[in-house]
Structures are given as C-alpha cells and as structure tokens.
Structure 1
Amino acid sequence: MHGKPAKWPELIKSGQRIFIGSHAAVPHALIADLLANSNYLHDVEIVQVAAFGNNRWAEPEYLRNFKINSLFIGGEQVRKAVAEGRADYTPTFMSDIPSLFTDEILPLDAALIMVSPADEHGYHSLGVSVDIVSAALRSAKIVIAQVNPQMPVTFGQAFIHRGQIDALFYASEPLLEIQPPALDPITERVGQYVSLLINDGATIQIGFGKVCEATLRYLNNHKDLGVHSELITDGIMDLMLSGVINNRKKTFHQHKVVTSFCIGTQRLYDYVNHNPHIGFYPSEYVNSPANISRNENMISINSAIEVDLTGQVVSDSIGYQFYSGIGGQVDFSRGASMSQGGKPIIALPSTAANGTISRIVPHITEGGGVVTSRAHVYYVVTEFGVASLRGKSIRERALELIRVAHPKFRPQLLEEVRKHYYVPHYQVQTPVEIPELGEVGFKKIEINGEAYDLRPLNPSDERRLQEFFYSHTKETLQMRYNTIPTQMNREKSCNLVSVDQSKDLALCIVRQRGSMSQIQAVGRYYLSHDGKNCEAAFVTRENSQGKGMAKLLLTEMIRIAKLRGVRTMLAFVRAENQKMLAVFEKAGFVRLPADEPGEVTLELVIV
C-alpha cells in the first residue's frame, strides 16, 4: 500500500498493542495523522522507549484512546503520565526488549516506524535508530512506515525491504536535534577523573548526559580509542573527526564503530549518513554482554541517581518516582566486567539539589530500586575522585565511597554506616583532601618506564597498609621503627591511614593496575603543636628500593610543607642506614648533634 494509509480502521483496531519508533526516529507526522483520526479507537496500548519530541499521545486528552507502556521513560510527558498512573513503566534490560516482542510476551499488532526512501534495490534504512525497532518490525503483524527523505541512510543491519512494509506514509520532517549539554565545573571534574581510567587503545561505551559528555571532552589527547556503544552522540563524532577514535585496536568489529542508535545535532545526522565506518545493529546484538566482552579493554561509562555505601546503584527512580529506565547500563557493566582489561564505571556528581543532598547515601532512598548490583561496578567516580570497589569488602567499599562523597556529608555518612557495623568503632576519621596535590588530588608518575600514582593515604587503605607492613623484612622494620614490631592489626593500621591531612601529611606511591592496588612506599610528616615544625619519615617496599621513590616522596613533602608555612623539617635516622641518610642530605638536610647513640638527627630549614 503506497501513499497515505487509506483508512486507519483497516490498520489499527481497539484493544491492540502497537509499537512506535524510538529516540530521534519517532515518526511524528505519521503519529499525528493517527491521533487526528483516533476517535474510533479505545484501549490501544502503545509500547515505546524514549521517544524524543512532543509525546502528545501521553496527554490526558488521549487517555480513552491510548495507554502507554514505557520500557524506558523519556521526557516529562511520559514521566508525568507514569507518576499519575495514566501510563505504565516496565523495567527491562535493553538487550532483553527484542525478545519480549519475538517471544510474544508483548506481542505486537502493529509497528509505526520511520525510514529513509528506498534505494534502487528496494531497501529502506532504519537510519538513526535500529535498536529495538529491528525486532519490533520483525514481530509486528503490520508494519506502517513514515518515509522521510531527511532520514539518514545508515549501514550495518539497518535495512528493511519495502516488501516487509504494509503501509507507507510519505512525509518529510527534520529529525529532532539534541544539543550537547552545557557543562559546569563539577561535571567537568567528574569527566576528567573518568578520562584518567581510560587507557589508550580502549573501547568505550558512553551513556547520555552531562557527565558522559564531559568525559568525551577530556579524551582529546587519547590515542586509538574504539567505540562499541548502544548510543553515539556529537561527542563521539568529534573524536572520530580528530582521529582519537579510529577503532584500530578493537578486537571485535575492528575499524568500525558499533552502535544501535544516535542522538544529537544535524551535524551528527549528516555524519552518519552513508558512513561506512559506523555500523548500526539491533539492541540484542549491540547490548549482548557476550558480544560486548569480545572487545578487550572495554570501558562502560554510565551515570546514576544515587549510590549507596555498599555499591548498589539506583538509576531509574528517585524514591517512588520512576524517572528513566534500566536501559543498557547493566548490559554494558556486565559486558565490560567480562572483558579482558575491562572497567565498568558509574560516574555522577556527589550532590543534587544545589548541593543540599548527597548522592552517595548510607542506604537507598525508600522506594528506590537497584538497577546495577554491588557486584557489577568496579569504579564509582565523583568530582572528588575515584572509588575502586572491585574485590573490596563492605567495610572497604564504604570507606572508598565516603572518600568520594562531598566533604560536608562525610561525617554523617560515616556515622550512619557505623550503626550497621560496616566500619568498626575505631574508624573515626573521614578522608581529607590535600589541595596542594592539584585539582585531581594525585599525580601520575613514571619510574623506570613503569607508571605509579602518588596520592594521599586514605582510610580505605587500611588493609593495603597492613599488607605493606607484612611485606617488610626484619632489617627494614629495624631501620624504619628502630625496633622490630611483630604485629600490625587492623586497628593500628586504621590509625595510621586515618590522617587529618590538613595538619599532618601521609603520602604513598601506589602501583595501580585496574582494580589492583599495591602500596610501594609511604612518606609522612607529623606537625608540631605550634604548626611551625614537622618530623618526616618514610619506608619503601623492598623490591622497590633504589628506584628513587623516597626522593620523590620527600620532594613532595617539602613542597607541601613550604606551601603551608612550616619552617623546619626534622628526621631521625639510624646511623647505619646510609641510603636513607643520603636521601635526606641530597635534599638539603644537615646533621645535628644527636641525643641518642646510633641515631642521626637531620634538619631542613624550609622558610
């Protein structure tokens, strides 16, 4: 049937279930014609995911005609309808939606979609949204398509033959554009931290929103990135144009971006048009965790509404109010965790409501639902840093997440979580930043061609410091402590890592490989009561000695002490510890008369 559908009553009947195209490929002109001729209809169920543009069918005036069943809530009209009970929300993984249609759990009577004009072979392209549209048109008894000459032609598995379409409706209309969001300093900092977790050659999946856009803007200096993502945006396009994304290191669909839909500006829609370097595939293929994991070094980046101190992620609801949906977050978190070298990341600002509400919470808000479980997420990122959760106990997770919460909420979070014995009674100090380390709060350093992090010791390092202590030989313990301590229990280790870094200073050099973290050296100074003098000390793991770590730590400690107005730094070193003495003396320390035999006192005048 060509041209305008003859009569809607021949195509859509009361009580049926129909699907409408998704994201930027909503056939608005086609739906407008249906709405204008819908008086005869009642109790039609509309199945949809996010449908950009005016969702007029969600308004109360059409309540008698249509009832929405949204598999992902997008837009205020649908959100309001769900909140008022005029529409339903069905939570499901994006990868599972196609089987709801094909297995007839949600059998479709009709699918209303948008396509490009047919090519010389009779094939129309699904354009900017293949996603679940592909399964819907295969499952629906009737396919009704708006043929839009402004729809881009995309490649991959994006084509449908005109023989599969029962009714054609010709209408030209521009695709809805979504402009890149304006970024604020907090969001930019979150994006900066996320970018530090992405290595050259990685394959990325990116969600939608300010945090994800900020991350893309901080990837300009990366090399050889690839993309396997249910969604691509203008930010992905810009990185492809600059050569940052070239897909040459991908291990699945090498040299090609793999996606299922795109949303953005007209620039993006023009860019994907007839672009052989981008493949649009169905959601059951793109979002399959098994397929995602075939990309080595797969990085999934998604946002959330709140994260509790055990690592549970809420992203589809605010309390009892359903806000969005599950989408592809779990699909990609699982796929990235199965990937060799993969990293599932949740990124979010630490607060909401103009800083009045913490998004790192002691327990999930009543009514809220867990989308991504405690075991799915490796990293949680806020503007205050990166919390590493993989392999961490509940105690360690709580301390890691408190560390990236907003400082004004940390004492409250610690107090709340102690009620449930997630952290012990002796844990009283919350993490304190060292602003002198710079905006990101740590430094990447390279020693003999190997990468390390120089950062503050944190309360969550309790077990790592304990392991560090037990790695020492008797000789190292004798040189550092002037005795040979035989035990470093958890309480003592906790006291050593729980430092008020605004007064005393405790730094460490860490070998970080993904979620693996091992302390290589620790340097600290203790400030005198008058704040004018301090005492410095450090110790290095045996297999890292001789690499200059002590020198690096001491240089940083002197720099910070000077910025803080400390006048002198003292050190007490055993006379036979010639290597340690050399480190101090090369830094400008001079020997003073010693009170204890066998011990050398050194002093550095800083200001």
Structure 2
Amino acid sequence: MNAPDLRPWIRPGDTVVWGQACSEPATLVEALLAQADDIGGVRCFVGIPADSPLRLPLVPACVDVHSYCGAGTNAALHAAGRLQIHPVHYSRLPAMLGRGGALAADVVLVQVSPPDEHGRHSLGLGDDYFSAAIDTARVVIAEVNDRVPQTPGARTLSPEQWTTAFSTSRPIGQMPTPDVADDVRAVARRVAALVPDGATLQFGIGALPEAVLAELRGHRDLGIHSGIINDTALRLIEAGVATGARKTLDRGVAVGGLFGGTEALFDWAHRNPAVALRPTSYTHDPAVLAASHRLVAINAAIEVDLTGQVNAEVAGGRYVGALGGAVDFLRGAAASAGGVPIVALPSTARTRSGLSHRIVDRLSGPVSTPRSEDLVIVTEHGVADLRGATLAQRVERMIAVAHPDQRAALDSDADRVLASARA
C-alpha cells in the first residue's frame, strides 16, 4: 500500500521508535509525518539518517523528535530547534527505549524482509538498539519490503508478533562510501599501521574509519565486530583480508548491528553465512568486547585537547556527532588482550572562516570521552599513546601530533593547561 493509514494504531502523545540508517521503514515514516496532525502529535526517537523523509520542512510542528546523534539531516533539525539530543552511551539505548525507560516505546515501526520458507521475516538491515523495544511496545507495525535481504543472525518476526503490516517494494536508503581528502587518507595510513594481522576490528561511521579500512588491504585474517558493516568492509571480506579466522567469538563471521551501504552490500548479505546481524546488547556487550581477539577500536573525533579529552559531538557550535558507542568500544579494546583503543582525526579542518585546529588547549564542545580512558590518538603527524601517561606526558605527546603551525601556541599554553588539570 502506498499510503498506509496509521491513525487506528497510534494515539496522541505516543512515543514512536524505528530503525535507523538503511533499516528505516521509509513508507511508514512518510505516512506518520503526513498523518501526525490527525493523530494529535507524537514523540519520535530516531537514529542516523540515510535517505530519511524526516527532514525540514517536512516535519510537522506536532512531531517532537529525539535522537542520540546529530548526523546528516539531524544536524539541521537540531539547529532549527526541532531535535532533542540524548547524550547517552549507545549500549544504554535498548534500556532507554524498553519498558520503564525514559523513552519507552509505545509504537515500533519496523522494516522487514519477505518471509522465508518458515514464514518468518528478517529484520534484514538492522537489529541494533531498536529491536529491544519490539518486545515491550503496545503496537508493532511492519513494512514488508521485498528489497530487504534475509540476513543470517538477524532477529526474525512472524506475523503474530506484529499488530499490522503493509507490503512495499521500494529502494532502500543508501549510505555510499564517502570521498576521502588527502589529510584523512594520511591519518588512515597511520592508523592502519597500528592494526596487527588477525585483529578484530570495530569502526565508526564516516570518511575516516572507511579510509582506514581501505588501507588494510595488505593485512591478513582480520575480523569484524562492529556497530555497522559498510561497503568498504564488504570489499575486505571479498578480498580475503577479513576472514575472521582468528576471532575468539563468531569465528569466520563478520558481526554488526546494522548495514550502512549500498545495494551491493544488501545483495551480498542476503542469506550469506559470512555475516550476522546482532542486537546492541551483543555488539556492545563489555564481556564480548573484552573477549575479542586483539580488538582494535577505530573512532573519529571533532577535536581532542592536550590532556586527551575528546569532543565527538559539537563542531562550530552545531551538534553534528554523537556520544554514541565510542566509549563502549574504546573500553572494550582497552580490556581486550592486545587491543588498541584508537581515536583518529586530522590535525586541522577547513571551515567557512578558514583553517581551524583540532588538537586544542581547550575543547569548544562537550567531553564525549574523558581523559580517564585508555586512548591512542592518531593524526597525520603521528601517534600519541596516552595509555598510562601522566598529565605532563599527555601534553607533550599531544603537542607532537598537532599541526606544526599550531605547536608553538600549544607549547605556550602547556603550563596553564597542566595547572588547570592539576587543580
């Protein structure tokens, strides 16, 4: 049905939750936005947008939008005062959306595959944090999209587990591999040099983590255990680089919470035993991460200060990132035998007003990852291993990986930074 009627199922004031990125049920979301005024207003919790209909000026005033991130079109919603941010660790999202949580879901909109031979429908493109809400929501509305793959490991639903369903045949929103600038590629090469053969990889979303994956083509027997699986990871698997042969858990299988890529990735995932989707309760489980063989966590940042505090949320006064799963994975990598907890970023960024420096004496945004975590900071100018380092050692090592034009200014700030850090 092109325009499903959701009004019989959704009540005024309901909290509505759905899958993010490529797992977003776009037809149901479009219907919700079109019918929100008739329903009487709702609260929605959303994640990373791919090609989402939830964008200005299409969001009615009666729709109260919440998210954990400011990625993509979410940034414009937040700047316009139409998005409320929840700065929570990714591992906490299932509890927040489940019964008794701060955003307990009344209604879940879910995109699923056609039925398999047993009559069950795969979540297909994302199990992730939202599927936990399926078990406690009053209403579950399914969009059965014949473009969605049947993915091994992903949760499956039978018709008796949803309230109502609508059939669609619509292209899935895609997240193509981003273009990579020269400075990002230079950072990626330094990060790749820290990855040992046989390591288990976690990687975030964006140009830098994908650039790192592209630099790993000469490695052997890498494994994947990540919140997301993308096209670049697919190419490593197809090239025989990411075999998962040395993984402690899920040996030979790439594990992720969601797919964020193109149709090539979706087609590859269909009934492919080399991949498995898992819920956030598994992908971000501290015990699972600590048990992973040489877990290397690769996460980007907006800026890092001289003591190792990381801002991954706000840039230029705009909320564009997330607290997300970085701390979950960085802690997991630090606890993993032979693991490496990496935060990577170019030393500068081009803005409308010129070049800005990203290794700074003081953060311009919130502390997303505190200096108390074990971290290895990487820029195109070097590697600052802060694990076990004193405050003075941290400042010295961070200045060494800053842009050369910024080092003198940072050096002059060092005494003040240390005095403040010790206070």
Say whether the fold is shared (TM-score over 0.5). yes
Match of 1:247 among 232, 244, 248: 244
Checking the alignment, whether the CA contact within 8 Å between 2:306 and 2:398 is kept in structure 1 is: yes
Match of 1:318 among 278, 291, 315: 315
Cα offset for 1:174? 1.1
Output the CA distance in 1 between the equivalents of 2:217 and 2:210. 12
Alignment of 1:489-500 (within 5 A): none
Q: What does residue 386 of structure 1 align with?
A: 383
Output the CA distance in 1 between the equivalents of 2:409 and 2:67. 37
Checking the alignment, whether the CA contact within 8 Å between 1:116 and 1:151 is kept in structure 2 is: yes
Letter of the 2:121 counterpart: H
Please say if 1:159 is aligned against 2:175.
no
Output the CA distance in 1 between the equivalents of 2:123 and 2:232. 22
1:78-123 per-residue CA deviation (whole Å, 9 max, x = no partner) reads 2222223222111111111001122421221101110001122121
1:238–1:6 Cα change, 3 Å: closer
Q: What does residue 203 of structure 1 align with?
A: 200
1:200-245 per-residue CA deviation (whole Å, 9 max, x = no partner) reads 1111101121111211111111111111111111111111111111
Cα offset for 1:319? 5.6
Count of equivalent residues: 417
Q: What does residue 363 of structure 2 align with?
A: 364
Please say if 1:92 is aligned against 2:91.
no
Checking the alignment, whether the CA contact within 8 Å between 1:387 and 1:400 is kept in structure 2 is: yes
Checking the alignment, whether the CA contact within 8 Å between 1:395 and 1:422 is kept in structure 2 is: no
Please say if 1:128 is aligned against 2:86.
no
Q: What does residue 174 of structure 1 align with?
A: 171
Output the CA distance in 1 between the equivalents of 2:26 and 2:15. 18
Q: What does residue 324 of structure 2 align with?
A: 327
Letter of the 1:389 counterpart: L
Letter of the 1:49 counterpart: G
Output the CA distance in 2 between the equivalents of 1:335 and 1:409. 33
1:420–1:20 Cα change, 3 Å: closer
Q: What does residue 75 of structure 2 align with?
A: 79
Match of 1:298 among 270, 277, 295: 295
Cα offset for 1:70? 1.0
1:352-385 per-residue CA deviation (whole Å, 9 max, x = no partner) reads 12672110000111xx111111122421011111
Output the CA distance in 1 between the equivalents of 2:27 and 2:40. 21
Output the CA distance in 1 between the equivalents of 2:419 and 2:273. 52
Q: Which has the larger radius of gyration?
A: 1
Match of 2:188 among 181, 188, 191: 191
Letter of the 1:16 counterpart: D
Output the CA distance in 1 between the equivalents of 2:180 and 2:30. 35
Alignment of 1:149-548 (within 5 A): 149-318=146-315, 320-353=317-350, 356-365=355-364, 368-421=365-418
Q: What does residue 563 of structure 1 align with?
A: none
Where does structure 2 lack aligned partners over 5 or more consecutive residues?
Answer: none
Q: What does residue 15 of structure 1 align with?
A: 13
Cα offset for 1:173? 0.8
Letter of the 1:14 counterpart: P
1:23–1:415 Cα change, 3 Å: same
1:251-305 per-residue CA deviation (whole Å, 9 max, x = no partner) reads 1111111111111121111111111111100011101122111102110000000
Output the CA distance in 1 between the equivalents of 2:282 and 2:416. 45
Letter of the 2:314 counterpart: S
Q: What does residue 525 of structure 1 align with?
A: none
Output the CA distance in 1 between the equivalents of 2:223 and 2:137. 34
Letter of the 1:52 counterpart: A
1:420-450 per-residue CA deviation (whole Å, 9 max, x = no partner) reads 4469xxxxxxxxxxxxxxxxxxxxxxxxxxx
Cα offset for 1:60? 4.9
1:161-188 per-residue CA deviation (whole Å, 9 max, x = no partner) reads 2210111111111112222122222111
1:35–1:341 Cα change, 3 Å: same
1:422–1:273 Cα change, 3 Å: farther
Cα offset for 1:7? 4.3
Cα offset for 1:148? 0.3
Letter of the 1:257 counterpart: A
- Given the two structures, how large is their TM-score scaled by the length of structure 2? 0.94
Letter of the 1:363 counterpart: R
Letter of the 1:93 counterpart: H
Match of 1:65 among 53, 56, 62: 62
Checking the alignment, whether the CA contact within 8 Å between 1:193 and 1:381 is kept in structure 2 is: yes
Output the CA distance in 2 between the equivalents of 1:7 and 1:268. 32
What percent identity do the matched residue pairs reach? 35
Cα offset for 1:6? 7.1
Checking the alignment, whether the CA contact within 8 Å between 1:307 and 1:360 is kept in structure 2 is: yes
- Partner of 1:163, secondary structure, is helix
1:162–1:40 Cα change, 3 Å: same
Q: What does residue 30 of structure 1 align with?
A: 28
- Partner of 2:146, secondary structure, is coil
- Given the two structures, how large is their TM-score scaled by the length of structure 1? 0.66
Checking the alignment, whether the CA contact within 8 Å between 1:298 and 1:336 is kept in structure 2 is: yes
Cα offset for 1:73? 2.5
Letter of the 2:34 counterpart: A
- Higher mean displacement: 295-304 or 100-109: 100-109
- Partner of 2:226, secondary structure, is coil
Checking the alignment, whether the CA contact within 8 Å between 2:223 and 2:244 is kept in structure 1 is: yes
Output the CA distance in 2 between the equivalents of 1:135 and 1:9. 24
Checking the alignment, whether the CA contact within 8 Å between 1:146 and 1:168 is kept in structure 2 is: yes
Where does structure 1 lack aligned partners over 5 or more consecutive residues?
Answer: 424-607
Q: Which aligned segments of 4 or more residues in structure 1 are displaced greater than 4 angstroms? A: 3-7
Letter of the 2:37 counterpart: N
Output the CA distance in 2 between the equivalents of 1:415 and 1:4. 63
- Partner of 1:152, secondary structure, is coil
